[in-house]
Structure 1
Amino acid sequence: MRGVRARPVLLDSALALAVAALMVAGAAVRGGDLGDRPGAAGLALAAAGAVPLLVRRRYPIGSLLVIVALTCAFYLYGFRTTLGAPGILIAAYTVWARYPVRQAWPPTVIAVVAYETAMIAGRASHPIPDTVLALLQASATVLIGHSVYIRANRLRETAERAERAEREIELEAQQAVVEERIRIARELHDVVSHHLAVISVQANLARYVFESAPDTARGALDTITGTTTEALDELRRLLSVLRPPRHEPGEYRPQPGLADLPALVGRLSDAGLTAHLRVTGTPRPLPPGQQLCAYRVAQEALTNVIKHAGDASAELTLDYGDDGLRLLVIDSGGGAPPRANHAGHGLVGMRERARMYGGVIEIGPREPAGFGIELTLPYPNPGRSAGEP
């Protein structure tokens, strides 16, 4: 039965075949008995009354009306069904099992009136008993079909409530994660700010008394060492909360920097982009954050060349100037310029990264052709204290 229910087309085909066989077996001429068989046309019309059952699930109301029309035509042509009209009952059941009362009763009334009219016009042998029997069968069919509709509605409402409850639980869990991350971020900010302030004060003290009071300088350095250790321990504990429960080996690796730009250009060249890296000026060390900023801007710019510039080539220039680092990505043209993604990536993300480190980024077309992205990052000021904004 599960296999049959899983194949509704097969079930409806078998049902239509069984009804057609029953209608043909019970077909008789008007006033005759079961053995008084109609001709080929009558038998074909009797069997045709079961064909609409093949599409009863897709067109319930249409199937009911067509079956009633064919059955009425069978009666009006001078034939009768000695074994009943199960096709009408099955189609009526489908209507009441699929539709609410306000939609199911009009076609049902039409079907009952048409059936009774055709039966009387066809001069049925026992009109009153046949009418009573038809009304009883119709009433039972309506009750059974409507009960199935109510049960299906209840099951559907239960499933919808369960789905809504599951979504609410998921949203609550996501909200809890967001709130926890905000709390951790605030705590992380407080911990880092406190320890960095202590380190800054002690470092300034050690520098100030380095020559005049070596013992005091040594004590300040000891304090810096202890504070740094405490800060690292706190960071490990807090960040461990943010890590997923499962992660692949090697997932946590050092963030890329300027030294990884040649490998980036090589990977994109393997992907089909003609790219060149040019370094000018005297390289100097930069903090990891600034290096990551420059790397991500270069990565996004070169990726945009692949996406939007077609077969264009690209040149990545890294210029160590006197006051800052200048990163320039220019393509040779051939496609539409990339559009900003307001979800936080793309060109908007580049500007945010540049602003984070006090840099400036210029994005736009180049003459005579192509598109360019130029990032300028100032070198860190060694005279500024770590605790200063």
Structure 2
Amino acid sequence: MARDWWQVLQRYPRTVDVTLAGALCGLTIVSSTLDTTTSVPVFSRAISPFVVLIAVPAAIALLWHRTHPRTMLIVTTACGLAIGALGFDISASLVGPALVCAYSVGWRSDRRSAHLYPPICGIILLIAAVLQSPGALFAPGKVTLLTGFLLTGAFAEATRSRQNYLAAMRARAELAERTREEEARHRVGEERVRIARELHDIVAHHMALAHAQASTAAYLLRSKPEQAQEILDQLADTTSSALRELKATVGLLRQEDDPETPLEPAPGLARLPKLLASFEPLGLEVSISVTGEPQPLSPGVDLTAYRIVQEALTNVTKHAGTQSALVRLVYAQSLLTITVSDSGHGSRQPGEPGYGLIGMNERALSVGGELLARYRQGGGFEVSTKLPLEPRPSGQDEKESER
């Protein structure tokens, strides 16, 4: 309920100021008729027209206390001194407009003004009250005046702290919103790169196989139709395999809409023999060497290892110009090293990494590994990658090396 009233008051500031000015003007005029030198203030004077002439401008000054708080504080303080000069006791009720302006200066102005203007004006009014009646230092009027300025300063500081707190909360909320948006864009970008990399590996491998099989079948169609038919059957298997993998990859995008969509398991090193056999129709004989005891890999590392071997061998068929390649797997305690090498002359020029090498490097980095692709001294090309058995952030290796 209090918050609702506060919102209503903030919605109509001019109405609040006019009402406050009228109330304080009446309070000043009524207070001028009180005798505050006694323990209990009593009405002992008639309303003075001079007080009215001073109280009205002081109240009107409140209409600008939001936009010019320091100037209005000086004006209302001067009006309070003028009333005291007429012989009236200066008290908090007599200088109410000055207290309101002191509050405005306390939280609407800069901190230097807040720490300078209200104390000086309060001290001036207190000195004037003491000089007016030096015999009664603890009279109710002087006590209320001092208490009024102290409370005004405390309320102003509390309001300023609350405003700073709300501003900090708004800034923090805006920062959090921007961070969420940036994180969402970052995740979308990563997902786009991952899907593009996956599609590239699938399409590049199977299209290379399909192209070679179709070319071979066309060459053998007239002279050896039986072999051509056998290669065409293999071509159908190649395209079917490509369609299955593409369906599985695209199915990941539809999984949120249809979570029951059946998806094939992600390929791994267990399918390596079948992968190596798929290159035989291309005239590429791939031998494999395994060192160490094979160890189970996490799904991410297993898929990364498979895709790197697949892409490296696909590059051999497209660029190496050779009929043999070697795949070496070395299992260590916590590391798997994969090397794919060939002895061909190579058709790729240095400085032209291509998307295949970029994709392999990104795959290795995504699980905390590293990849090196280079020409061999004796001829040929070599792709070597070191993958952790369990995936870890790529930055972790740098921290461990710094230690």
Deviations 1:8-46 (A, max 9, x none): 33222222222122223334599995542222x531320
**How many pairs align?**
244
Q: 2:26 aligns with which of 21, 44, 48?
A: 21
Corresponding position of 2:118: 108
Residue aligned with 1:37, SS: coil
- How do 1:285-300 residues align onto structure 2 when only pairs under 5 Å count? none
2:58 counterpart of 1:58: no
TM superposition shift of 1:72: 2.4
Q: 1:46 aligns with which of 47, 50, 55?
A: 55
- How do 1:71-90 residues align onto structure 2 when only pairs under 5 Å count? 71-77=80-86, 83-90=93-100
Residue type of the partner of 1:225?
A
User: 1:228–1:52: structure 2 CA closer, same or farther, 3 Å change rule?
Assistant: farther
The separation in 2 between residues aligned to 1:174 and 1:245, in whole angstroms, is 19
TM superposition shift of 1:134: 1.5
- List runs of 5+ in structure 1 lacking aligned partners: 247-389
Residue type of the partner of 1:51?
I
Q: 1:153 aligns with which of 149, 158, 164?
A: 164
The separation in 2 between residues aligned to 1:244 and 1:115, in whole angstroms, is 76
User: 1:220–1:56: structure 2 CA closer, same or farther, 3 Å change rule?
Assistant: farther
TM-score between both structures, scaled by the size of structure 1? 0.53
Residue type of the partner of 2:20?
L
The answer to whether the 8 A contact 2:90-2:142 is kept is: no
TM superposition shift of 1:101: 5.0
User: 1:49–1:3: structure 2 CA closer, same or farther, 3 Å change rule?
Assistant: same
CA RMSD of aligned residues (A): 3.5
The answer to whether the 8 A contact 1:96-1:142 is kept is: yes
User: 1:105–1:204: structure 2 CA closer, same or farther, 3 Å change rule?
Assistant: same
TM superposition shift of 1:244: 12
2:77 counterpart of 1:68: yes
The separation in 2 between residues aligned to 1:240 and 1:110, in whole angstroms, is 75
The answer to whether the 8 A contact 2:103-2:155 is kept is: yes
Deviations 1:166-225 (A, max 9, x none): 433332332222222212211111111011101110111111011112233233333333
Residue type of the partner of 1:9?
R
Residue aligned with 1:50, SS: helix
The separation in 2 between residues aligned to 1:237 and 1:44, in whole angstroms, is 88
- List runs of 5+ in structure 2 lacking aligned partners: 258-403
The answer to whether the 8 A contact 2:102-2:118 is kept is: yes
The answer to whether the 8 A contact 2:214-2:232 is kept is: yes
Residue type of the partner of 1:15?
L
Corresponding position of 1:96: 106
Corresponding position of 1:365: none
Residue aligned with 1:202, SS: helix
Deviations 1:47-69 (A, max 9, x none): 22122322333333333222212
Corresponding position of 1:272: none
Corresponding position of 2:223: 212
Residue aligned with 1:106, SS: helix
User: 1:51–1:34: structure 2 CA closer, same or farther, 3 Å change rule?
Assistant: farther
The separation in 1 between residues aligned to 2:26 and 2:242, in whole angstroms, is 86
User: 1:79–1:170: structure 2 CA closer, same or farther, 3 Å change rule?
Assistant: same
The answer to whether the 8 A contact 1:27-1:34 is kept is: no
User: 1:232–1:50: structure 2 CA closer, same or farther, 3 Å change rule?
Assistant: farther
The answer to whether the 8 A contact 1:52-1:63 is kept is: yes
The answer to whether the 8 A contact 2:76-2:98 is kept is: yes
Corresponding position of 1:37: 47
The separation in 2 between residues aligned to 1:12 and 1:45, in whole angstroms, is 18
TM-score between both structures, scaled by the size of structure 2? 0.51
User: 1:126–1:13: structure 2 CA closer, same or farther, 3 Å change rule?
Assistant: farther
Residue type of the partner of 1:44?
L
User: 1:60–1:237: structure 2 CA closer, same or farther, 3 Å change rule?
Assistant: farther
The separation in 1 between residues aligned to 2:213 and 2:188, in whole angstroms, is 37
2:221 counterpart of 1:221: no
The answer to whether the 8 A contact 1:119-1:127 is kept is: no
User: 1:52–1:225: structure 2 CA closer, same or farther, 3 Å change rule?
Assistant: farther
The separation in 2 between residues aligned to 1:131 and 1:48, in whole angstroms, is 24
Corresponding position of 1:195: 206
